[in-house]
Amino acid sequence: MPNLYPLVRPVLRRLPAEAARELTLRALEAGLGRFMVDNAGEAPDPPILAQRLWGLDFSNPVGLAAGYDKDARVSEAMRRFGFGFVEIGTVTPRPQPGNSKPRVFRLEEDQAIVNRMGFNSGGLDAVIDRLSRRSPSGIVGVNLGKNRDTSDAVTDYAEGIRRAAGLADYLVVNISSPNTPGLRDLQRRANLESLLHPLLRAREESGCRVPLLVKIAPDLTLAERADIASVALDTGIDGLVVSNTTVDRPTGLISRNARQAGGLSGRPLFGPSTALLADMYRLTQGQLPLIGVGGVASASDAYAKIRAGACLVQLYTALVFSGPRLVSWIKKSLADLLRADGFASISEAVGSGHVGAAAARPTRSTERAA
Ligand SMILES: Cc1cc2nc3c(=O)[nH]c(=O)nc-3n(C[C@H](O)[C@H](O)[C@H](O)COP(=O)(O)O)c2cc1C
């Protein structure tokens, strides 16, 4: 099959970022994804990358981060690009348009994106409908949000949990988007406790013990990080997604769009999000599975996240700059890096970058019971 992506790429780059995203979504919906990668996308994953977490078998640790397939339109096509798992969403209970356009900006020179989409979402009805029609292959997580005009966050997240629990392989409570006013306040200790207890009850009531994770922001003080770690361990949630985009603007950004308001992702986020990941691994004593996300653009980036404590990694921005072949490249080179360091399996490498990290790996890989 010819790989047409090199021809398509210049066209996409000339379009505004959000129009390019919509065009790729439509192309994938039309089944054109198979023309965008070499056959490598469909090759079996090296066994060294396989891992069992929460009772789920991940054939590789590289996932698609939330925000590209917000409405569960193309999860199967993304799996065929070689992703080990796909996170759809953020989905809000009711449809909402998000912020006014333009609201996504490429920072070409910095290999970064600033977005202030503001949870544009087709709503749970549409997502549930698509998820219930999807083929059972592939691991799909559902990232849940709240509507902008909802004052009681618990109601919205609980609705998402109740309705998506039976259709998702895992759920993510997203309290870290910088583009919904007040959302990040839910990360504060007292707010987080008051949120998570009823959400865990909502999961119980759903009858599906689907893994429940929380996605956090990189812009947290050390005290806030410690609070989140202790609440995560005390409540018994199943993991953390580390991290969302940053409102910070690290020094050294050169693109004109760096001054746009919103969350920054891509290469400049790699350092801060990996430092947060290492903190969360240390603060949870390696007991909680962590998904590392932020600036992953190569196998060595993915490996650094794993050594900092991530069982799984995700990416989004690098896909925009490098295209779908990136997934196969990362997987192949990651397997080489693991072998070169003498690891027999990826789970042995999780957290291995920490001093005194012998056999440091998550112990709470909850088995999923229906
Ligand atoms: C355009 C865009 C939209 C995003 N939308 C969401 C979202 O709806 N929910 C969410 O949890 N994260 C969202 N994110 C954040 C990503 O999931 C990820 O956490 C962040 O971009 C860092 O990863 P990256 O550097 O690989 O892009 C979005 C990111 C981008 C660039």
Say how far apart CA 214 and CA 228 lie, in whole Å: 10
Both tokens assigned to 209: 């013990």
pLDDT above 80: residue 364:
no
Q: Whose CA is nearest to atom 26 of ligand 1?
A: 315
Say how far apart CA 35 and CA 174 lie, in whole Å: 33
Measured from the CA of 297, which atom of ligand 1 is nearest? 26
Q: Report how far ligand 1's centroid is from the alpha carbon of 62 (Å).
A: 15
Q: Report how far ligand 1's centroid is from the alpha carbon of 25 (Å).
A: 16
Q: In the prediction, which pLDDT does 360 show?
A: 43
The mean pLDDT of 155-170, rounded to a whole number, is: 97
Q: In the prediction, which pLDDT does 36 show?
A: 84
Say how far apart CA 155 and CA 139 lie, in whole Å: 26
The mean pLDDT of 172-190, rounded to a whole number, is: 94
- Supply the mean pLDDT for the chain: 93
Name residues whose C-beta falls within 8 Å of residue 55's C-beta, 6 or more positions apart in sequence: 365, 366, 367, 368
Among 177, 273, 328, 352, the active-site one is 177
Name residues whose C-beta falls within 8 Å of residue 75's C-beta, 6 or more positions apart in sequence: 69, 86, 88, 134, 138, 140
Q: Is 177 a catalytic residue?
A: yes
Say how far apart CA 172 and CA 51 lie, in whole Å: 20
Query: pLDDT tens digits, residue range 9-38?
Result: 999 999 999 999 999 999 999 999 888 887
Both tokens assigned to 218: 């990189």
Q: Which of 245, 267, 269, 314 to mutate to test ligand 1, by most ligand atoms within 8 A of the CB atom?
A: 245
Query: pLDDT tens digits, residue range 209-232?
Result: 999 999 999 999 999 999 999 999
Q: Report how far ligand 1's centroid is from the alpha carbon of 294 (Å).
A: 8
pLDDT band at 362 (very low <50, low <70, confident <90, very high): very low
pLDDT band at 358 (very low <50, low <70, confident <90, very high): low
State percent of the chain over pLDDT 70: 95
The mean pLDDT of 141-170, rounded to a whole number, is: 97
Q: In the prediction, which pLDDT does 35 show?
A: 86
Q: In the prediction, which pLDDT does 42 show?
A: 67
Query: With a 6 A CB cut-off, is 353 part of the ligand 1 pocket?
Result: no
Q: In the prediction, which pLDDT does 43 show?
A: 80
pLDDT above 60: residue 366:
no
Say how far apart CA 329 and CA 80 lie, in whole Å: 14
Q: Report how far ligand 1's centroid is from the alpha carbon of 28 (Å).
A: 19
pLDDT above 60: residue 363:
no
pLDDT band at 8 (very low <50, low <70, confident <90, very high): confident
pLDDT above 80: residue 328:
yes
